[in-house]
Amino acid sequence: MVTVYTTFPSATDCTPWEFRERLAQEAKWAEAAGIRGMLVYSDNTLLDPWAAAQLLIEKTERFVPLVAVNPVYMHPFSVARMISSIGFLHERRVDLNYVTGGFHRHLQELGCGLDHDRRYDRLTEYAEVVRQLLDGGRPVSYDGEFYQLKHAAITPPLEPALKPGVFVSGTSDACRTTQQRLGATRLSYPREIGEYGDGQPLAGGGIRLGIIARDTAEEAWAVAHARFPSDPLGEEVHEIAAETVESQWHLSLSEDAFRSHSPKDTYWLYPFRAYKTFCPYLVGTYEQVGELLARYLALGVSTLILDEITEEADLHHSMRALRHAQGETA
């Protein structure tokens, strides 16, 4: 069974009231479609993810925010206390997506000089501290390289049933090591299916992508090109941004996208190439998209994060393709 999340929408080009209404509507659509929750990003330019998570919880009944957590923004005690407080006040859970930050300029702005692998070392400690604090029981004492605690405890303690699911984002060896040490689900952006070898290289992991599926391929591609038209300026911005990013997944996808603007079967990178989104898209009939999704699921994928919702119909089209994929896998 695949666990599905959607993606938090952009807050640009609308008033605060319009954005709150839009977010509440999209979350309700997703909840009604049986989707577990919504990925909430975090970087220097975005809304605070915990404020966003609070709003999602207030506007829904069961929806689970998947909150990006970066050590540069908050002490692990504060994260554990936030989770415990939400659990106590709302009797609801949040899931955690641990990230290290991929934009070098954002890290410099906050005085973080650690290199890529060392940030994952810190992230491992960070997540271990959060876990110990949420486990309850005895106060936590921790003597690590990056964090030290002496008899720290979270009050009120978190109900065991509300403990968060744990994810970590990345594709590097350092990320894989962190994933193994934490027992987390590793999130990544899928490359073209032919880039993967035999076996299940994505076992127990999750992928983020967009889906545009319709009854005919012509209809699907018409929607795709209308939604993501040619944008030379966006392509230039992407090229500039790619020079400042350390994330291995971003560099790999950028190399793929720079090689060709054309789709490969149903796999399409132009929205990423034009700097409109950070994930690839699958475009085609329900059967075409479902069959390709099934091949990713066969690689071991257990979590699917859909790109931002544009309209309610997007969810129905995407879930129809996913049902086809799960039927193919079965």
pLDDT digits (tens, 9 = 90+) for 215-269: 999 999 999 999 999 988 988 887 777 666 666 666 777 777 777 666 777 999 9
Average pLDDT rounded to a whole number, residues 133-137: 89
| Inter-residue contact 263 to 281 (CB < 8 Å) | no
In-domain check, residue 239: yes
Residue labelled with tokens 């977010």: 23
SS3 per residue for 162-230: HCCCEEEECCCHHHHHHHHHHCCEEEECCCCHHHCCCCCCCCCEEEEEEEEEECCHHHHHHHHHHHCCC
- pLDDT value for 88: 96
Half-sphere exposure of 318 (CA within 13 A, CB side): 27
**What does the alpha-carbon distance between residue 206 and residue 4 come to, in Å, rounded to a whole number?**
9
- pLDDT value for 204: 82
- 30 and 135 together in one domain: yes
Number of domains comprising the chain: 2
User: Across-strand partners of 283?
Assistant: 212
| Inter-residue contact 80 to 133 (CB < 8 Å) | yes
Q: pTM for this one?
A: 0.92
Phi, psi of 51, deg, nearest 5: -65, -40
Last residue of a domain, one of 155, 188, 221: 188
Residue 330 — pLDDT band, cuts 50, 70, 90? low
CATH number of the structural domain spanning residue 73: 3.20.20.30
- pLDDT value for 42: 87
Indicate if the pLDDT at residue 191 is higher than 70: yes
- Residue 166 belongs to domain spanning: 11-188
- 24 and 75 together in one domain: yes
- 22 and 145 together in one domain: yes
* Range name among 111-120, 124-133, 298-307 with the lowest pLDDT average: 111-120
**What does the alpha-carbon distance between residue 294 and residue 301 come to, in Å, rounded to a whole number?**
9
In-domain check, residue 1: no
